[in-house]
Amino acid sequence: AEKGEKPFRASQIWRWIYHGRATSFDSMSDLSQSLRTTLNDHFVLFACSIVRHQSSPDGTEKLLVGLADGGEVECVLLRDGDRRSICVSSQVGCAMGCVFCASGLDGVERNLTKGEIVEQMLRLQHRLPADERLSHIVMMGMGEPLANLDRVLGALDVARSPEGLGISPRRITISTVGLPVAIDRLARHAVPYNLAVSLHAPNDDLRNKLVPVNKKIGVEAVMQAADRYFDASGRRLTFEYVLLGNENDSVTCAEQLARLLR
């Protein structure tokens, strides 16, 4: 509209991007040539590049996405029956420092923008044939989504919008190591998403070692925040536990975990 175009042109362009899977302004065939030229002169449709694309025999596809400032993040498309799930990154690097994860080795560099998060979704959507749609989103790639909550929620607004990717919030999961203040903020958010808490240890001694950010939080506070989220949202709450040989896989750990989740 700032360029003197009718407001409905924005809806047309939006439709081309999210429903038409357009990869260039030139392919938006119901826009005038002059508008396409203006768009090419002033905007970029995709700000990132695909640095590497890996496919597995089971249909999983992994993209290494190059950001405009040289940073890199990964996102993944998983095929399982009719499901077309994507796993999306929220930050470059990660400050949580989980000992089993390469993403946190150098700490966090920066938060991704809303556009960079949405672009991962679109790039993965482009991997699907025209008659298939993305069905599920998990915010579980590089980074801690709740440490970049505003932009993650902004990107998920686009993902769930019927004019956007049209994915129901019931099929969207935010994964977190468990940051109570941010979990409470998420609980107050108007749109409830599924929450997955990465626990990885059933007591503070072990969790402080495996998930160092736990030293500032504690397992009890994480569990209480998760309970509050469930009470407020009514959405599915899951706990993730990476089994690490001779670290957190003892019978004692299993018994403690069972008591914790009861």
- Contacts to ligand SF4 by CB under 6 A: 94, 96-98, 101, 103-104, 142-144, 177
Residue with Cβ nearer ligand SF4 (22 or 179)? 179
Picking from 77, 84, 55, 52, the residue whose alpha carbon sits closest to that of residue 65 is 52
How far apart, in whole angstroms, are the C-alpha atoms of residue 79 and residue 225?
A: 32
Four-point Cα dihedral 29, 51, 111, 160, nearest 10: 40
* CB contact at 8 A, 180 and 195: no
Picking from 176, 160, 262, the residue whose alpha carbon sits closest to that of residue 222 is 176
* CB contact at 8 A, 192 and 235: yes
The nearest distance, CB 28 to ligand SF4, in angstroms, is 36
Q: What are the Cα distances from residue 244, in Å, to 107, 109, 251?
A: 22, 27, 13
Residue with Cβ nearer ligand SF4 (119 or 144)? 144
Residue with Cβ nearer ligand SF4 (165 or 174)? 174
The nearest distance, CB 4 to ligand SF4, in angstroms, is 45
Residue with Cβ nearer ligand SF4 (17 or 213)? 213
